[in-house]
Amino acid sequence: MSSKIEMLKKERLKASQSEKPKSKKNQRLYGALLIIISIYIAFYLYKRDSILAIAWIFSLGFGFVLQKTRFCFAASFRDPFLVGSTKLFRAVLIALILSSIFFPMIQFPVHKAGVSDYFSLTGLVRPVGIHTLIGGIMFGMGMVVAGGCVSGALTRVGEGFLLQFVVFISISIGTLFGAMHYRFWENAFISSSPIIYLPDIFGYTLSVVIQLSALIIIYYLAYKYHIKRNTMI
């Protein structure tokens, strides 16, 4: 039986090698045209407001990175259980580690000046409560049904996946309804929920050390999990 399987493998290998590779359509002209249009839009926005031009250039770069890295928050939490890969999950952890280092540098001068309004701090310091749990569950269910998060859906829309256009429209409608009903959530849950800000409890230095230590430990465990799942026979 094993010899027949080996013969079948050899036959398939020969067949695949004998097939002529399909010629890929040259898309350099389209790429050059898109670059010219993007530069024109950047100059047009710069004449109106330099911030708009910077936002346009940043969005192009951000979209390029997302497309090339296939970065997706849904996949980062799905892949460890589905295929045993933690590459995207560890990328999210690296982003959190960098944020944990640089955001305190921005927040510390403002907080040290005696500003008691958390909403004025860079980094979106917001109350946490039942609304956070409900939102997380709804967003998680939406990611599973859609097959990706918002960034993943936008990337696939740019690549021309028709199904993701439906997802994008659904995201837009959901965001609109969320904005319309935000006042209800604000009055019912958000305004009465506590704000947990670690620097108020442990101080900035100890807070950064605690958070970085936790993230590094999780990263190490995720890496070991990845190695174990991908070396199993």
CB proximity list for 166: less than 8 A, separation 6 or greater: none
Q: Reduced to 3 states, what is the DSSP secondary structure of residue 188?
A: helix
Determine the Cα–Cα distance for residues 55 and 45; give it in Å rounded to an integer.
9
Radius of gyration of the chain (CA): 24
Sketch the domain layout of the chain as residue ranges: 22-68
Query: Considering the entire predicted model, what is its pTM?
Result: 0.69
Tell me which H or E stretch contains 224. helix 204-230
Bigger pLDDT: 215 or 233?
215
Distances from the Cα of 87 to the Cαs of 38, 96, 129, 141, 212, in angstroms? 32, 14, 30, 22, 19
**Residue tagged 């024109």 (tokens):** 40
Within 10 angstroms of residue 222's Cβ, the number of other Cβ atoms is 19
- Inter-residue contact 56 to 45 (CB < 8 Å): yes
Residue 99 tokens, joined: 């944020």
- Inter-residue contact 154 to 168 (CB < 8 Å): yes
- Inter-residue contact 101 to 208 (CB < 8 Å): yes
pLDDT tens-digit profile of 100-125? 888 888 877 776 655 556 766 777 78
pLDDT tens-digit profile of 48-70? 888 999 999 998 888 888 888 87
Res. 2 pLDDT band, cuts 50 70 90: very low
